[in-house]
Structure 1
Amino acid sequence: MDPNSDKKHVWDKVNNWEEELLFLKSIIDKTELTETIKWGGPIYVYNKKNVIGIGGFKNYFAIWFLNGVFLKDDKKRLMNAQEDKTKSMRQWRFTSKEDVNEKEVLEYILEAIENEKQGKVIKPAKKEAIVSELLEKEMKQNPALAEAFQQFSPYKQYEFLEYIETAKQEKTKLSRIEKVIPMILGNVGLNDKYR
């Protein structure tokens, strides 16, 4: 393995932003986060939990909030950079050092640390995504069902999928699907009545 091949990681494709990233680092240094290097870029951790990352791309540099989904984001700064891949990560992009409002950035970072202290994470983070081919088929035939399913949080979607796919036999799966379709269409989560 070429030891330098790692340097070219996606989070640091270009070195256009050295000064800007150092500025971001100087802001982050005011918090209780510890810098580590993971995936070829600086990641800041609290209590061994990844909280934020920073990196430069061709047209912008950014802070990643690894559990950014929980940030209030009143100022509407965050975006989901990879809708399909990440449920929880959010990104704040900047195109110049002037874009970086230190006070705002600190507020967001402190909120992210607070969320981490409270243990806010999307569960189940570690479980494999579940695919239910039978439900997929059902949704292809019924766009309203697919749309209703998308309205649920990732966690609730997961609960439905897990419920269907833990059945051993196909006929049980099908009867479970029949049972959950009206719930999905009615926007009722699988375990809502117990919550």
Structure 2
Amino acid sequence: MSDTNPKVDAFIKSQKAWTAEIKSLRQIALDSGLQEDFKWSLPCYSHDGQNIAIIQNFKNFCALMFFKGHLLKDSKGLLKAPGENSQTARRFEFTSAAEISKLKTTIKAYIKEAVKAESSPAAKTEKKAPRKQDIPVEFKTKLANNKKLKAAFEGLTPGRQRLYLMHFASAKQATTRVSRIEKYIPKILKGLGMND
């Protein structure tokens, strides 16, 4: 078993939900020989310096996400993509510690496969370029009329830009799109992403 990280201990103590599930996933990862770290404010597990998996806690479920889950066979169809635009990440989603306990052997097998896949030539393959996100006309207008906003938006990482654009464009009505844009202008001007 690998060593525990005190930052993960503190994280677990701070959680109001999914504590038993996080502890179970942590134990499985450590028993599988992964090194524990605390990255992106979450328990993260690596092998030989390569990120393998991360424990995620959401409102409705707890997850163990494999960074390169697309390389796993997943013949049982247990892994889910975190979003429609996800190219490589795949995750197990759980709503109880009993589910995790039932799949313990399977989870360990997936971790073993993920470690092996990380050292394969396929792990080095290039990601496809993300689909170009259209800019809603309401946001185009705001950018054209506000140089500071345009500069701040262009200064964001491509992922942050894409997330904003997807959120703005997903509104069906123009008034909702404008409302969403107005709400997030202060964050954009500060150089922050939607979830920062």
Identity of aligned residues (%): 29
In the other structure, the counterpart of 1:46 is: 47
Contact 1:15 1:56 survives alignment (8 Å): no
* Structure (1/2) with the larger helix percentage: 2
In the other structure, the counterpart of 1:112 is: 114
Supply the distance in 2 between the matched residues of 1:108 and 1:43 (Cα, whole angstroms).
16
Supply the distance in 1 between the matched residues of 2:122 and 2:44 (Cα, whole angstroms).
18
Task: Name the Cα RMSD after superposition.
Answer: 2.4
Contact 1:68 1:89 survives alignment (8 Å): yes
State the secondary structure of the residue aligned to 2:36.
strand
Deviation of the 1:56 alpha carbon: 1.2
Query: What TM-score, normalized by structure 1, do the two folds share?
Result: 0.55
Deviation of the 1:118 alpha carbon: 2.2
Supply the distance in 2 between the matched residues of 1:88 and 1:129 (Cα, whole angstroms).
12
Supply the distance in 1 between the matched residues of 2:130 and 2:81 (Cα, whole angstroms).
22
List structure 1 segments (4+ residues) > 3 angstroms apart after TM superposition: 128-132
Supply the distance in 1 between the matched residues of 2:119 and 2:131 (Cα, whole angstroms).
32
Deviation of the 1:119 alpha carbon: 4.4
Supply the distance in 1 between the matched residues of 2:98 and 2:131 (Cα, whole angstroms).
44
Supply the distance in 1 between the matched residues of 2:130 and 2:75 (Cα, whole angstroms).
33
State the aligned residue count: 118
Over 3 Å counting, the alpha-carbon distance change for 1:131 and 1:112 in structure 2 is closer
Q: Which amino acid aligns with 2:120?
A: Q
State the secondary structure of the residue aligned to 2:53.
strand
Structure 1 unaligned spans of 5+: 1-12, 133-195
In the other structure, the counterpart of 2:96 is: 96
Supply the distance in 2 between the matched residues of 1:37 and 1:119 (Cα, whole angstroms).
27
Contact 1:14 1:58 survives alignment (8 Å): no
Q: Which has the larger radius of gyration?
A: 1
Supply the distance in 1 between the matched residues of 2:130 and 2:98 (Cα, whole angstroms).
43
Structure 2 unaligned spans of 5+: 1-13, 133-196
Over 3 Å counting, the alpha-carbon distance change for 1:19 and 1:115 in structure 2 is same
Deviations 1:32-60 (A, max 9, x none): 21111111111111111111001211110
Deviations 1:79-133 (A, max 9, x none): 111121x2100011011111111111101111111111224325225xx94778x
In the other structure, the counterpart of 2:80 is: 79
Map 1:1-195; keep pairs closer than 5 Å.
15-84=16-85, 86-100=86-100, 101-121=103-123, 123-125=125-127, 129=129
Supply the distance in 2 between the matched residues of 1:91 and 1:99 (Cα, whole angstroms).
14
Over 3 Å counting, the alpha-carbon distance change for 1:131 and 1:89 in structure 2 is closer
Query: What TM-score, normalized by structure 2, do the two folds share?
Result: 0.55
Deviation of the 1:31 alpha carbon: 1.5
Deviations 1:131-168 (A, max 9, x none): 78xxxxxxxxxxxxxxxxxxxxxxxxxxxxxxxxxxxx
Supply the distance in 2 between the matched residues of 1:70 and 1:52 (Cα, whole angstroms).
13
Q: Which amino acid aligns with 1:91?
A: R
